[in-house]
Amino acid sequence: MRVILLGPPGCGKGTQAEIICKNFEIPHISTGDILRDNVKRGTEIGSRAKSFMDSGSLVPDEIIIGMIKDRFSEDDCKNGFLLDGFPRTIAQAEALDKLLKKMKIHIDYIINIDVPDENIINRISKRLSCSNCGDVYNLMFKKPKKEMVCDSCGFKLHQRDDDKEEVIRNRLEVYRKQTAPLIQYYNKKIMNVDGQQSINEVTKDILKILK
């Protein structure tokens, strides 16, 4: 199964992706996670991407498309994948179309998680992330069992560099200008899910679409 998860920053793409990918045993491909891993390891991609990420702007298409091509060539993508945070511009969507055509595969589901801006700022400003295993928590909606410690791996939790309120506002603006046009681009293929519900309810709605 091949899935694209669309939606504004903080709508719950990463949270839902983890659950869906476990359920269907497919790899979770998050361009944001790949970029953060590159920044952490100090790679050339990481140093080129960091200033864009810190300001909440998009990393140039050519870097992202190259990363996706490399990721698709890995063995675990043969039986499907879930894309989280890619594509994010029309140019990326067109590059993805070309790549899929060349690989003779297609996307089965495109799901858009819809959440209004005021909920997003509230959610992201309370998000805690694990820089070791990537698990995501929330001080209001998904607390770790032990304060500031990851339930899964025991590492210390932290706030992402781009989760400050002024950066979140810029990310939302960038989303409206550069990513929201994808809803029109994919048009009838898109299935909308109400992301204002609890994490469990959102999962249920997504599973109804995928089953």
Amino acid at 125: S
Window 48-67: residues binding ligand AP5 (CB under 6 A) = 52-53, 56-59, 64
Sheet (strand 109-114) strand order: 28-30, 81-84, 2-6, 109-114, 190-194
Q: Using CB under 6 A, which of the segments 28-36, 70-78, 99-107, 145-153 binds ligand AP5?
A: 28-36
Q: Using CA atoms, how far apart are residues 93 and 71, in angstroms rounded to an integer?
A: 16
Q: Using CA atoms, how far apart are residues 25 and 31, in angstroms rounded to an integer?
A: 19
Binding of ligand AP5 at residue 35 (CB under 6 A)? Answer: yes
Annotate each residue in 98-137 with x if it binds ligand AP5 (CB under 6 A) or - if it does not, as one string.
Answer: -------------------------xx--x--------xx
88 assigned to active site: yes
SS3 string, 16-60, reads HHHHHHHHHCCCEEEHHHHHHHHHHHCCHHHHHHHHHHHHCCCCC
CB of 178 to ligand AP5, least distance (A): 8
Is-cis flag, bond preceding 87, omega within 30? yes
Bridge partners of 142?
A: 138
41 assigned to active site: no
Binding of ligand AP5 at residue 199 (CB under 6 A)? Answer: yes
> H helices within 73-148, ranges in order?
90-103, 117-125
For residues 20 and 187, which CB has a smaller minimum distance to Mg ion in the complex?
20
Instruction: Pick the catalytic residue from 160, 164, 177, 204.
Output: 160
48 assigned to active site: no
Question: Which residues contact ligand AP5 (rule: CB under 6 A)?
Answer: 7, 9-15, 31-32, 35, 52-53, 56-59, 64, 85-86, 88, 92, 123-124, 127, 136-138, 141-142, 162, 171, 195, 198-199, 202
